[in-house]
Amino acid sequence: MSLLEVNKLNIGFQGGDGLMNVVTDLSFDIEEGKAVALVGESGCGKSVTALSIMRLLICPPAHMEAESILFEGKDIQQIPERHMWKLRGNDISMIFQEPMTSLNPVTTIGKQLTETIRQHTGCSKKEALAKAEDMLREVGIPEPKQRLREYPHQMSGGMRQRVMIAMALSCDPKLLIADEPTTALDVTIQDQILELIADACRRRKMALLLITHNMGIVAEAADEVMVMYAGQIVEKASVQEIFDTPMHPYTNGMLRAIPGTAHTGEEFYVIRGRVPSPLFFSKACRFAPRCDHACERCHKEAPQLQDIGGGHYIRCWNPIKGGNANE
């Protein structure tokens, strides 16, 4: 049984012209202890997908429906809110892009951490304090005792993100959702934070859904990659398959766009055009206006996600043969 199984998730927003569909028929699953990356350009629907799994999407204006969203076999759509509150934190934790939006600026790090720990574990103040100190140590924060007395603004962005990771890990969740956890940080810190998240997940045998627009960071952190474009998964495979034989022109373009990689041998590649607004999603292939491989059929008929074997799925009429990222 998968830890998380999302079946036919559709998300839309109510606007003046009716319901604007932003995520279409999304299905995927995450096995216990596995790290899965959800990759795609800005606006493709990554965050709303994560929020809908946590049931944090505000409906309305959002409208969400799914055949099922099973966590350990239970459909989270059917779970009463008071139980959902327990599930968030105890079983599923989330780290957001900007730690300042999740940390309370007028409360010390220690108070915020111990309150979270106590709410979810019911332990004593003293035990929570000891655990908070251990957690800061685990995420590489020096002098944790002293740091617990500090306020968020007294810390650097990297340190604050470490605190958020400590908070997310403190209740030993089974699934960690990290939504662009490194984009607000200095490039030199990004790798350290990513490594910290990936290591913590491996050590604790915790599953990870890593959301990012940066294909460059998934190789070290994920077992499996889902490439999302305009609200749909266009390619899904093991990290090795995706990097060795990317078959969808969009995946291919994303890999070529990783600056200075040995993979491409090129300086820099930019996928022409932009992600369309959901108001203008094509009824045929949504990537067709930007695709160098498009044929007549691509502009007329929508390709479906096909299982091509070995856990590799692709949504394309003209997959790139041999998956050569330099094509």
- Residue 182 is a binding residue for Mg ion (CB under 5 A): no
Residue 318 touches which of Mg ion, ligand ATP, ligand SF4, none (Cβ within 5-8 Å per kind):
ligand SF4
The type of residue at 287 is F
Q: Report the nearest approach of Mg ion to the CB of residue 178 (Å).
A: 11
In the shown chain, the binding pattern of residues 9 to 48 toward ligand ATP, with x for contact by CB under 6 A and - for none, equals ----x--------x-----------------x-xxxxxxx
Q: What is the chain's alpha carbon radius of gyration, rounded to the nearest angstrom?
A: 21
Q: Least distance to ligand SF4 from the beta carbon of 215, Å?
A: 16
The DSSP-derived string for 196-235 is HHHHHHHHHT-EEEEEES-GGGHHHH-SEEEEEETTEEEE
Beta strands in the chain (DSSP E): 4-15, 18-30, 35-39, 62-71, 74-75, 92-95, 175-179, 207-212, 224-229, 232-238, 306-307, 313-314
Give the whole-angstrom CA distance, residue 81 versus residue 154: 35
Single-letter amino acid code for the residue at 21:
N
Query: Distance (Å, rounded) from C-alpha 148 to C-alpha 33?
Result: 30
Q: Please identify which residue in 288, 313, 323, 325 interacts with ligand SF4, judged by CB under 6 A.
A: 288
Q: Between the CA of residue 292 and those of 248, 288, 309, 318, what are the distances in Å? A: 11, 8, 25, 11
| Partner that binds at residue 110, options ligand ATP, Mg ion, ligand SF4, none, CB closer than 5 to 8 Å by kind | none
Q: Of 26-34, 94-102, 113-121, 281-289, which segment contacts ligand SF4 by CB under 6 A? A: 281-289
Residue 162 contact partner, candidates ligand SF4, Mg ion, ligand ATP, none, CB within 5 to 8 A by sort of partner: none
Report the residue number whose CB is nearest to Mg ion: 47
The verdict on 318 binding ligand SF4 (CB under 6 A) reads yes
Task: Pick between residue 133 and residue 235 the one whose CB is nearest to ligand ATP.
Answer: 235
Distance CA 195, CA 188 (A): 12
Select the residue interacting with ligand SF4 from 127, 189, 293, 305 (CB under 6 A).
Answer: 293
Alpha carbons 123 and 204: distance in angstroms, whole number: 21
Chain contacts with ligand SF4 (rule: CB under 6 A): 249, 285, 287-288, 291, 293-294, 298, 303, 316-318
Chain contacts with ligand ATP (rule: CB under 6 A): 13, 22, 40, 42-48, 61, 213, 278
